[in-house]
Amino acid sequence: DAGITQSPRHKVTETGTPVTLRCHQTENHRYMYWYRQDPGHGLRLIHYSYGVKDTDKGEVSDGYSVSRSKTEDFLLTLESATSSQTSVYFCAISEDRAEETQYFGPGTRLLVL
């Protein structure tokens, strides 16, 4: 999985609690992305980062925030988890955005009860 780790790999939480997912890369790639995967929707972009402290929204960013204080780490936070945020979350990285070959982490399976 191209030097990308995600933690935790599985999490069960309750509605209304905050949740933070971590993505860590050892490739020194500039761009990092968070996606969610749901049946029938493929992968949808939540947020992405194009450098330390530089982030932007994707197509499904409501209810999520991100932070990137170091090149290697990209955090996704659900401030107050809802059942609709039950999903599998993938982090991805890319070196050159023009070519946009993204490499994916192993995923985090989140269940919000």
Partner 1 sequence: AQSVAQPEDQVNVAEGNPLTVKCTYSVSGNPYLFWYVQYPNRGLQFLLKYITGDNLVKGSYGFEAEFNKSQTSFHLKKPSALVSDSALYFCAVRGLKLIFGAGTRLAVHP
Residues found near partner 1 in the complex (CB under 8 A): 1, 4, 40-45, 58-59, 90, 92, 99-107
Are 78 and 64 in contact, with CB atoms under 8 Å apart? yes
Between residues 15 and 41, which has the closer beta carbon with respect to partner 1? 41
At 12, give phi and psi (nearest 5°): -120, 130
Residue 39, helix vs strand vs coil: coil
* Least distance from partner 1 to the Cβ atom of residue 16, Å: 28
Q: Quickly tell me which residue has 């402290």 as its tokens.
A: 53
Between residues 30 and 44, which has the closer beta carbon with respect to partner 1? 44
Q: How far apart are CA 100 and CA 107, in angstroms?
A: 19
* Least distance from partner 1 to the Cβ atom of residue 15, Å: 25
* Least distance from partner 1 to the Cβ atom of residue 53, Å: 20
